[in-house]
A and B are shown apart, each in its own frame.
Chain A
Amino acid sequence: MTLKAEVTQHTASLRRYALVLTRDATAADDLVQETLVKAIDKADTWQPGTSLRPWLFRIMHNTHISDLRRTKTRSDAAPDLPEPVVPDHQHTQLELKQVLEALDQLPEAQRKPIILIALREMSYAEAARALDVPLGTFMSRLGRGREALRQIVSGISKGKLSVLKRKGNI
C-alpha cells in the first residue's frame, strides 16, 4: 500500500472517531482537518517503520483535548447537539441515544478507550499509544469505562421504564 493510500485509509478512520467524539458531521470534519494540519506540521516526529495510525490518533486525541479545554464544549453544547444519525430501527435509535448519553457522563479518560476499541481498527497496544498511556492503564480505563457505561445505561433504561409505568403506558 502506498503512503498516500495509507493516509487516506487512516483519515477515514479519524473521521469515524471524530464523528462519535463530536456527534456532528461539521465538527467532526473540522477536527479531522485540524488534526491533519498538525500532522503535516509534526511530520518529522513520525518514526518511519512505526505504525502511522496510532501516531495520527494521538494527534487527534491531543487536538480534541485542546479543543475541549478551549471551549468547554461538551457539557455546554450538549443541549444543542443534533440527534445522532438515525438508524432504521426505532428501538436501536433509542438504545444508541441512551449509550451516547451514558458515554457523555463518563470521564474523558474512559470514554475514548471505549470508542477507540469499538471502532475495531487498532490493537489495545496501538490504542494505548494513541492516547499516550501505558497499556495497563489503558486496559483498566477500558474495563472500568465499559462497566460504568453498562451501569449508567441500565440506570437510564430503568428510569425511562419507571416513567412509562408511572404514566400508565405499560
Chain B
Amino acid sequence: MTQENTHERDLGLDEDLMAYVDGRLPEDKMAEIEARLARDPEARAATASWRHHDNLIRQMAKDADDLPVNMQIAALERELAAKLKARKRRAFVMGPALGRIAASVLIFTAGWGAHGLFGSASQLRGAEYPQFVTATMTGHQLIQQASMQQAEFQSDEMEAALDWMSAQMQQKIDSPKLERLGYTVETARLLSTSEGPLAVFHYRNEQGDQVSVSVSPHAPDQSDYKLRVVRMDSDSMAYWTDAGLDYSIIGPVDVGTITTLAAAVRE
C-alpha cells in the first residue's frame, strides 16, 4: 500500500472530519478541527469535496418535494398511520405490566368475593369496586373508556414526569418511593381516562417481579377508600385514598409484601 493510499484511508475513517462536514462536531472540538484543516490542505480539500457532494445530492433529493401529489401514496399513508396507531394502543394495553395485570383482573373482577381478602372481607363482598382500580388494571376497560396514553417517561425522566403529571392532575404527585424496598422504576405513563388522568408507575426488583402503582385524583362525590388488600390468583393488590388521590398497587407478590409496598407508597 502506498503512503498516499494510507493517507486517503485515514481521512475517510476520521470521524471528527465526518462530524465536522455533517455539522455534528461538538462545539469544544470545532476550533481544534478548524486549526487542523487550516494547516492540512489535503484534509481541507477532502472535507470541502464531501460537503459539496452532499449539497449536490441533497439538492437533487429536494426536487422530490416538487413532484405532484401522489394519491395512492396519500391513501397508503393514511392506512399506515391507522395501523401504527392501532399497534401503539395494542402495545400499551398488552405491555409487560398491563398485559399481566389485565389477565389478573379478569380473575379479580369475576371472583371478587371468591378470593380470600386480607382485611375487612365482609365490607367488600358484594360491593362495587372503585373505578380507578379497574381503569388501572384492565386493558379492555381502558379501551372501552377510550383511554389514551398521553405520555410515557423513562426511568431517568422521573423528575420531569412527576412535574408534568402534577400539572396535569393539578395536584402534587410524589414518587411511589419503592426503591428502598429493592424496586427500580422502569417507566411512568400518564393515561387520559373517562374518569380523568391516571398516572401508572412500573417497577421491577432484582428477581424480575413487576409491580405497578397507579395514582389518580379522587372523585369529590365519592367517599375515601380505606386501605384494602386483595389476593388474586398469583397477584396481590392494594388500594386506598389519601389526601385527595386514589392509589392502587398490584404485583405477583403475597399479601404481606403488597401491604409493605403499599405502606412504603403511603409514607
Contact = CB atoms under 8 A, between A and B. Distances in A.
Interface of A: 2-4, 6-8, 11-12, 15-20, 25, 28-29, 32-33, 36-37, 39-40, 43-44, 46-49, 52, 84-85, 87, 92, 95-96, 99-100, 103, 114-115, 117-120, 123-124, 139-140, 142-151, 153-154
A163 B12 CA distance: 30
A4 B84 CA distance: 9
Nearest to B50: A146
Contacts of A28: 64, 67
Given A12-B64, A87-B59, 18 more contacts: A6-B81, A15-B67, A19-B64, A20-B60, A28-B64, A40-B80, A43-B83, A44-B87, A52-B84, A96-B56, A99-B53, A115-B57, A124-B22, A140-B13, A143-B13, A147-B11, A150-B49, A150-B50
13 contacts: A2-B81, A16-B62, A16-B65, A19-B64, A20-B60, A44-B87, A87-B59, A118-B53, A123-B24, A143-B13, A143-B14, A149-B50, A153-B53
Interface of B: 8-9, 11-15, 18, 22-24, 46, 49-50, 52-65, 67, 70, 72-73, 76-81, 83-88, 91-92, 152
Chain A contact residues, majority secondary structure: helix
A119 to B, nearest CB: 6
Contact of A99 (B57, B63, B67): B57
Given A4-B78, A85-B63, A146-B12, A95 B73 contact: no
A8 to B, nearest CB: 6
Nearest to A42: B83
B56 A92 contact: yes
A139 B67 CA distance: 32
Contact of A32 (B53, B54, B65, B73): B73
B18 A143 contact: yes
A3 B24 CA distance: 28
A120 B88 contact: no
Chain B contact residues, majority secondary structure: helix
A36 B71 CA distance: 13
Contacts of B92: 48
B53 A144 contact: no
A120 B64 CA distance: 15
Nearest to B83: A43
Nearest to A35: B76
A38 to B, nearest CB: 10
B81 A3 contact: yes
B58 A118 contact: yes
Contacts of A84: 60
B61 A16 contact: yes
B46 A124 contact: no
Contacts of A140: 13
A124 B24 CA distance: 10
